[in-house]
Structure 1
Amino acid sequence: MITKRVQSRYECGYCLARAGFITKLLGVYCAALQGIMMEKVVVIPMFLLLSSLTGVFPGSPTDIYVKAEEMVELYCPLNGEDNQRDAELIWTTHTSQEMDLTHNMSSAEQKRRDLLVHGRSLVIFKATAKHQGIYSCSRGNSSSQLWFRVTVNTKQRNESTHPQTCHTRESCTLICPNTPAENILNITSNSICQKEGETKDCYFTSVEEKDHGVYTCTRSYLYYGQIYNMTFTVLLDIQPKEKPEKYPVIISPHNSDVFPVYLGSTVVIDCKAVMYSDDDMMFWLSSDSFLETNSSFPVYYNYTNEINADKIQMTAALVFKEVSEEDLLQNYTCKLQTVTGRSSFVTIALAQKPRLSYVPLAVGIVSIVLVTVLTIIIYVRFQIPITLFLRDTVGCHSSTSDEKSYDAFLMCYKSDTDTGLNEYDRKCLESVLEERFGYSLCLYDRDVLPGEAVSEAVLDCIQQSRTVLLVPTSPETGPGSGLLSAIHAALVERQARLVFIKTEKTEGLRSGSLPHALQLLSEAGACVTWKGMRSMQPSSPFWKHLRYHLPAPQHAPKIRLLPQTSQDVTVWSNV
């Protein structure tokens, strides 16, 4: 009963306000008619007057529902007439009595009444029954006004429900409606969401059907240390996830592609597309004419399709049996015709590819062969000078230590003829090798202790040397054939290097004229010919050949061989 009386009271005030405003407007209109000449009679139908009032008084005010003790905001979007755009916005209340809230109410009075007028907004911080009624806003003295009817309820009504739609398996944020009051200085806000009394997160990482329902969204505002609430009802509707619309499309080739081909060759060009209906089709055109699928034609096409899940992969292959010059002048179009009407096409062309010339390839191969042969000839012809140059100048030789004491063991062997080296030639050989080229030689008559068994001493010298150098000498000196056979056996067993020096006369003898032991040694190692006086100079071919077959000198320190018998030990201790 009390609510009905209060409602009748503010509705009556609203009607009186409208009646008073109409009376004022009629007075202004009558005053304007007095200026018209008396001899002219102006007849204005009453319905025109009433129709002009429709812009001033709306058919009904905007209804705003608010829960008791909560905040509500009235927002006036009125711009006014052209000559009133800069005029001040005036808020008027028509609740118990008409009152200008803009000019007749101080800031302290507004705060006492839980009101705030700021810009286009009229904020009621805690709505009670005394705030229920009619409110209006106007721009200066403009005749245009906007009307609001505020109803305070203990429970929010359905008119304030805000619908929102989200899709399954997608993220979703419940939107608590924003109000212009957030732009008012010193007002900050945050929001919480509730469903059936249970506090929920306003953000869903992935919504499901169970999240459908009515949510209460409470937005809290902090203003000068006081918290004021606004409650909104949000109806969350969950819809199935919308599938993106798929359209058939040509994947390859691309429009304006040019394919290089050889004249007379067989060429196949695939046009690939993805479709979603069996009624879609793809075909080839030559200029403006359709190509056939009959393989008896010189140019035709065939197609294959592969059904994969919800899509169809189709391939239309354009086949040229033998590419002709006429084919090079045509444009070929692959067209995709669909039931949806979204047809697409690509146009391609052929270009003649120049024939490969084998002349550069042949010239290159011949050049490589000639260079290889020339390199081999030069190396074979100048193998010895090249090897000695790399060894002496560049230092290209093996430097790995083999724990040998001598570079070479120079041993004389008996010559059955007078073709051997004489004493002077042999001394010259030893001197040049040691002093001129830096070789460390093991000499029997110098580095073997007296009294040592000949065979054991020779074998020890071979063991301590990298190479065995056999020099022919007179029959009176040098080891016999039995020792030579032992030397050959030792060289074979230990894989030692052997250099066999011959003379010109020995070289002219037949291979069978040498003793068997010497014949085996000459065949086991490299042979170098001593040519008498012509071989004396260190720059002669003899020395080049000899150094080529000898290893590079290691400059190892000379070590005297230890004695092998008890008598030799006595002699060695007395030295």
Structure 2
Amino acid sequence: MGKRIACIWSLVNFLAPLLVATVMGNLHTSTVPAEARCQDLGELRVLEGEASWVRCPFWGLANRSSSHALTWYRLLPGHLERPIKRSARVSTERDCLRFQPAVAEDSGRYACRLRNRSACVNVTVVSRPQEASEDPKCHWPLAAEPGQVVVPLEGDRVVECPDWREAAAVADDAPAVIWYHACEQPNRWTSDREQDGARLRVHYMVDHYQGLYVCQVRYRRSGRALHFTRGLNVTAVSASSLPKVPSVLQPTREHVFSVKRGRDVRLLCTGHFPYLDQDLEWDIWWSVDGNRPEELAEHRFSVSNRRLHSRYGDRTEESVLLIRNFGSEDLGKTYNCSVSNRKGFQTRRAQLEEEASLPWSELASGLAVTLVLSLLVSALYRVFRLELLLLYRSRFGTDERYTDNKEFDVYMSYARKSEEEQFVLRTLRRVLENDLGYTVCIFDRDSLPGGTITDETLSFVARSRRLVVVLGPGYARQGSQALLELKAGMDGLAGGHLRLVLVQYKRMRRQEWVRELRRARVALATVRWRGEPSRELTSRFWKKLRLELPVRRPPGALGDEEGGQGAGLMTTPNQTPLNPEAS
């Protein structure tokens, strides 16, 4: 019996460690849903082939003498956990999980656990793109977003490569740090910038020093060559010596907003905010009678803000106050635009002026009356144009008898032994001499017998103020007398001491217009005789003809010596119809 008990005890001692190891193995690859209570550390991005690490936030809570209390796991699909197996490339050191270097297979989700606390991190290994070229505009391969650094213009700043101290703490010797700006090497930098160990010193900041700076950290650990790359975006901001108090750019002290009742009114305010480091306490706002629009009971007031532009950290902000259905009571309110930051405050009052309403009814009435009067005057002028011109000539025209030495007012040119001759002798001559008072020269009547026809014709034409050419079908066919008179008239017209008047008694065919007549017709107006309608002295024919003839004043306009003669030469408005048979 004693031997059996001893054998059983020996078997228990042999199997107990195996059982404990099996249970512990099952616990290490468990299905405990750790992610349900996992604190998220975000994402760690690293380039393939570069060194990287992540720290657990619970290290300060652990007993540092028993670091085994903090454990790193790799989370697998289905909430499975697998302890990190230590190797030369992947290791866990206290609170740190290191990849030396990282490879594509390292991408995944990791968790650190301390008692009942867990923290998770996503590790993403980015494949290294094509190596950066030597082009000044090249783009460095960076897995993580670059950090941000601001440097005042004309100022100085010391820039430190991120995470180089972490590498220095575990490296076999001092890490080597190389800085680049737009792919430029340090030996190409100026005296305004220089590298001092792991730091970059900017002694004098200018605009073109802005941009992406890249630092490469190379070191050895446990004989293995490691490296990583970090980036910093350096931005120039306004100089620290400039004033930092905000200001209201608009409205100015002289600006006046024009408002109109019953319309929506927009009051515009712009403010300038100089750059301040981590300035989160800035504001631009409108106030109505000391209250912000959102504090008013009326919903007719609303405000909208937006950024107009930013340069060197200085910002220009815009605030618009909208007043819907502007009323007369709104004119008496006080509207102030204010800006503030931690350095100061400024406010400015908006000046309002009501826009004068145009008297649309009065304007419309005035325009209508003006238009009607214009149309009426235009119509009257078209109807009574000749009468108005005759009236003007009688009042303000110059009597040519006092300005020249001519003997005759009119010289008659017509075709002899034709119908036109009867018209001239019985109608045209009688009205001009007896009714209108003109002195008329007719060659066949006024020439002396035995004279030379050519010389006397030219003499009569030269001593006349007007040459009236009576046109008809026989004008150019009845010998050379009419053509001689026409040529003399054309020469006088060219010399400026004689005017031609064309009176068309009957219509003429195109072939009947000789060259001199065509020239005269182009240059002169033609007075047409229309038969029976033209016989009245008040017809348009006689009015148009009088406009072409010399001016004759009404009775009494001349002196006493000539008053009777002038009265006898003028005709009364109620003139009886002309009798062509009277001679």
| TM-score tier after normalising by the smaller chain length | 0.3 to 0.5
TM-score (norm 1): 0.36
Query: Whose Rg is larger?
Result: 1
TM-score (norm 2): 0.36
